[in-house]
Structure 1
Amino acid sequence: MPPSPRGPVVQQSPPALTDCAECRAACVDDHLRSLMDPISRGDRDAFVTLFDHTRAAVRATIDEELQDPQCAAAVFAATYVEVWWLAGCHIGSGTDVVGWINRIAERRSAEEQPCPASASSAPEPAIGDAVDAQHLRALLELTSLLGRPLEPLTKLDLGRC
């Protein structure tokens, strides 16, 4: 029997959604709000859908605030981990979900300034390039929640429905 791999085991998943039936049939804001209750009850499929629909806007918000790509990737991951944990706490019937997520991202970006010096100046981070242990935990937790490898999650050219 071959030795087991070290580190997290992550499944490959299909590329991000660029369109979906729910967004064609209804208001995107209503669709995103409808995902929050299932997410608050631990529905990872709903979380993946929310992530796929909002990640480009959220990453753009973070990249406006932070210049360091490792720091930006860590804040991006930590933002979505916070969304996972707080999904049932702050979402009302009229809430702008993207705005709510962006406020989390803006707060986390402000907390990072100035970002601790990173060990690598690569344009996109790898797991070993995380700024510190807290950032690494956020990156690993997001990859676990989504069931996707880190690298595609940290790129800015991400689709939005």
Structure 2
Amino acid sequence: MRALLDLVARGDQDAFAQVYDALAGPVLGLVRRVLRDPAQAEEVAQEVMIEVWRSAARYRPDRGEVMPWVLTIAHRRAVDRVRATQAATDRDRRAAAGSLDPVHDEVADQVERRFEGEQVRRALRQLTYVQRESLVLAYYGGFSQSEIAEILGAPLGTVKTRMRDGLIRLRDPLAVDDPRSAGSGRARPLTNRPLEVG
């Protein structure tokens, strides 16, 4: 997949068609889980694949595999869409109700999100590459451990061990309560914010 993305970065449309075929399904699945609206999910998934075409040259192989990189883009786009939709709904409600409530301090909220995101990125950088890759697929992609094993071509037991060890290493920096949750098949959120590794 890395070789294909390198060709995409050079403008190779055939390589992009192969990347699209391989990644469009997982991207749509992730976006649909976040948005829960099929029409918006399809729109955002298309935006993600266009971004992959445009930003393929920015992909850095030393920071992970192509799939987690693309799923990270997809997750961010989907979360941005949820936030934008919620903000529009909140504005409409305030306007309809003629509310005089104080405006939410968006700057403080943005600073808090950036701080937490940086905290998560720092913690993830402490993990080994294989631990980080498995956790990103679980938390961003929402993939089960069996699905991750298939994606990575690794034995299921190995994936479980990587995730468990990674969560144990994240426990102190992120105050994770139960690192054994990696053995349950589906990942539990580490924080109330999405993982960010960019």
- Structure 1 length-normalised TM: 0.50
1 or 2 for the larger relative contact order (CA 8 Å, sep ≥6)? Answer: 1
The structure number with the bigger radius of gyration is 2
Q: Which has the higher helix share?
A: 2
- Structure 2 length-normalised TM: 0.41
